[in-house]
Chains A and B, each alone.
Chain A
Amino acid sequence: MSLEYPRRNAVLAPAALGAGGLLVCWLLSRRKIKTLAMGDGWWGSGERPPREKEDETIQCFQIETSDREIQELHQRLDQARYIPPLEGAAFQYGFNSTYLQRVVAYWRNQFDWRKQLEILNQYPHFKTTIEGIEVHFVHVKPSRVPKGQAARPLLMVHGWPGSFYEFYKIIPLLTDPAGQGLNEDVVFEVICPSIPGYGFSEAPHQQGFDTLAAARIFHKLMQRLGFQEFYVQGGDWGSRITTNMAQMLPKSVKGLHLNFIFITSGGLGMLVSLLLGAYVPWLVGLTREDSRRLFPYFEKNVYDLLRETGYLHIQATKPDTAGCALNDSPVGLAAYILEKFSTWTDKSFRNMDNGGLERKFSLDDLLTHVMIYWVTSSIVSSMRFYKENVSKNPNAAPDARVGVYVPTGLAAFPQELAHTPRSWAKKKFKNIVTYSYMPRGGHFAAFEEPELLAQDIRQLVKKVEHL
């Protein structure tokens, strides 16, 4: 009985302190920094050479293969060991192994890697050393530019488990609109780098390579290519990297286009809009479409995210363990990567025996993605990026408290993993010029719906340039 009194106080005191603390934190956080510091880095092996100036030459690069590489792949495909799926499991337990065997049979017998390399090499590739590591990129200039215009430089950054190859369908729509049936009032020259640790870009040898480092390296790349002002576009990691670029050097970024929006915290406003949004969306800054995509909140956002973020959790904590087998078993690698191309394109694909994979993509295209990870042995380093970027406290990360002031265009695709309404995005993106609800498409926007995405990018640029 005598425990009641001190126990009650013991609850009230910390509660009051907590509320006071929250108020102070909230007041402090409103004082925002204007730009992100650029910093510097060195990612090569061992110590940074003291006085050596970095070799800034840009070398041409062609992707090559050998008979041995193909034979070795075939041998591993032939020795793959499969476990039958549970009865009626479809894609609910992950990649269905019955369908996987069909994919592997195609890979072994019909997929032609040499032919795919010709497709990959149709655009010019280059490499250059920045901060101690070799950075790979594709650089496509328009074949012809209409009089009175200049090709606008556009940097497009991929994510995981994607690659520069995701942009191969959209590049012609941007560099050669006339040839694709579009108006040639806006023409681009496109640069698609590989994030260090992905594909043909060398992986960092030091710890700490995060999106800020990638953003700075890409700034240096654009400067090295002679561009002082350019547009940037990205989804997945590309979204965060290009956002960081806009936060670091706003005067260089004419416009920022994103098909995926990272927000770390929404604060009180977001909470209120969640509680009331299902009933009075207009009161809390949500549109009907927002409402349709967000609610029922728990099911769509909490449960679904929990269901789909196992990979993120293990990659953010034990990337070397998670990637080990995948760098040794091409079949395991394919299952892991292609599961995302299924579920992140359309969540209902989980209920299909074949994961709906070939509804939006061809096996040739999908396997080319997998091959890029396979031939470069980059799966482990690509996973390490998660650990480097997911920090203990997302709200304390340097880029969480810096706003984005460059003209921004946001494309919200309906099957994206999580929906971010304009009213929430506004807290971080202070200068949203366009916000579009796309009629269809999922996470891999450029790969799946290149025309829709190209249209939205062009729309942003026209608005920015008052065309």
Chain B
Amino acid sequence: MFLEIFLTLALGTIVYLFFSRKKEETLPIEEGWWGKGQKPDSEEDATVRPFKVETTEAELNDLFRRLDQTRFTEPLEDSYFHYGFNSVYLREVVSYWRNQFNWKKQVEVLNKFPQFKTKIEGLDVHFVHVKPPSLPEGRSAKPLLMVHGWPGSVYEFYKIIPLLTDPASHGLSDEHIFEVICPSIPGYGFSEASHKKGFNSVSAAGIFYKLMLRLGFNEFYAQGGDWGWLICTNLAQIAPNHVKGLHLNMVSVTNMRFTQLLSILLGRYFPGLFGFQDEDVRRMFPFLKKGPYMILMESGYAHIQATKPDTAGCGLNDSPVGLAAYILEKFSTWTEPEFRKLEDGGLERKYSLDDLLTNVMLYWVSGCMVSAMRFYKENIGKGIGTQKHEKLSVRVPTGIASFPNELLHTPRSWAQQKYVNIISFNFMPRGGHFAAFEEPELLAIDIQQFVGKVEKKEVWKEKGK
């Protein structure tokens, strides 16, 4: 009799698993080829080669010559940062860049973490790979993929990496120790840019998935903001069985449902009805000013990059000062929108010029601004809300760190429409768009607590079985 019961249960479990697997919506993994010309018949070289950032006297002299010959335009009187980057302050930044900024020293800073390159789908993909300096007995490092966005780079993670790979030395709990992999999105920094049209976030997710497999990781955590948010989300959609947990410091919901529209009209008066907390209301309302008006004021760059990236990027690849103004304007406004009222854009309140200019230099020396901008056209060029992945949900355990000065606030109740398995949603006390760069400790702590929750659930699931 026990045999019959056992067989029935086993059969039932198999049937249940079979059907429940069918219900899981996954995004198909697309095989891509992004290299020059025709895809060769031979197998791709899968070796992982060490890489070091280098510079030359010629490169520096060329930069200095261009900085010295910059043509500035005087700002309008009392315009602060309302018309964009204030050129009076820009002169100060350029003067620092020319006379004090030490690129050779910054290259050493960049090279302190091991970097590599490997060919995937025809492109040379660059990444930083940092293992913990030491591991307590019996413990293993948890692999964590961290993906940057625009106009950022892998350098955004340089402050948070030690907090994750060596938490004990930085006064944090060492319950979770990570080994961190930060790739450069193809078309950004030292990753080769696609030669073919159509390279979007799903393509990038596919490449990073292959990267993690190539590095020997079958299961890993993924973390991201800006484009990193979307790429990691896609990664969780194409390979949900490999992504143990998805942590995001930015969430954008593009499929607006009726309940969401209603919550915009009435959420201020009936927050509980729509799952809004007090903090949600504080951040979102007055809605017109903080929502559509803010979007209109701040999305000009996205509009032109999503339609004419080659035109928009052309001058930026030729004028380092123009490039700096364009990039650093975002580090000002996206860190704190009120910084627009300051003559210096509040830039040095949260960041050092050395750090800011290192990020700019990554775009300059690699000449990647045009390809970086093309990513906008490939992702939103056909319109927001039109892509297949925007309609699919994410079932992987998700943790969201909601920073107060992010451009747009997404309340948990909205995020839940897509991220159906949110196990952690925390309002951060301070910080803006460039979370890892600006508030590495806050972000590291949130990642750790999220991973803790995921692992507890796993243990509970294991015990339950």
Contacts and interface: CB of A to CB of B under 8 A. Distances in A.
A324 B69 CA distance: 13
B301 A314 contact: yes
A339 B85 CA distance: 24
B301 A328 contact: no
Given A93-B374, A206-B77, A207-B76, A324 B321 contact: yes
A21 B196 CA distance: 52
A430 interface: no
A382 B383 CA distance: 29
A387 B75 CA distance: 14
Given A206-B77, A313-B299, A384-B83, A329 B319 contact: yes
Interface in A178-232: 204-207
A81 B308 contact: no
Contacts of B312: 94, 310, 314, 336
A419 B70 CA distance: 41
Contact of B73 (A11, A79, A306, A323): A323
By CB atoms of chain A within 10 A, which of B65, B85, B311 has the most? B311
B306 interface: yes
B84 interface: yes
A310 B307 contact: yes
B315 A320 contact: no
Interface residues of B, number: 68
Interface stretch (B172-180, B226-234, B322-330, B430-438): B322-330
B90 to A, nearest CB: 7
Interface string B283-321: 000000000010011111101111111111111111101
B322 to A, nearest CB: 2
Contacts of A96: 310
A336 B309 contact: no
B265 A318 contact: no
B41 interface: no
Interface residues of A, number: 65
A313 B84 contact: no
B62 A325 contact: no
B117 interface: no
Interface string A320-346: 111111111101110110010000000
A137 interface: no
A377 interface: yes
A64 interface: no
A25 B75 CA distance: 39
A324 B325 contact: yes
A206 B377 contact: no
Contact of B75 (A97, A317, A320, A339): A320
Nearest to A100: B314
Nearest to B37: A87
27 contacts: A72-B69, A79-B318, A84-B195, A93-B308, A94-B309, A94-B310, A95-B314, A97-B314, A205-B76, A207-B78, A306-B307, A310-B304, A310-B306, A313-B303, A316-B300, A318-B301, A320-B83, A324-B90, A324-B322, A325-B325, A328-B69, A328-B70, A328-B319, A328-B321, A331-B314, A332-B319, A379-B73
Given A87-B197, A315-B300, A325-B323, 4 more contacts: A314-B312, A316-B300, A325-B315, A329-B318
The 8 closest A-B pairs by CB, nearest first: A332-B315, A325-B322, A321-B84, A94-B311, A310-B304, A314-B300, A94-B308, A318-B84
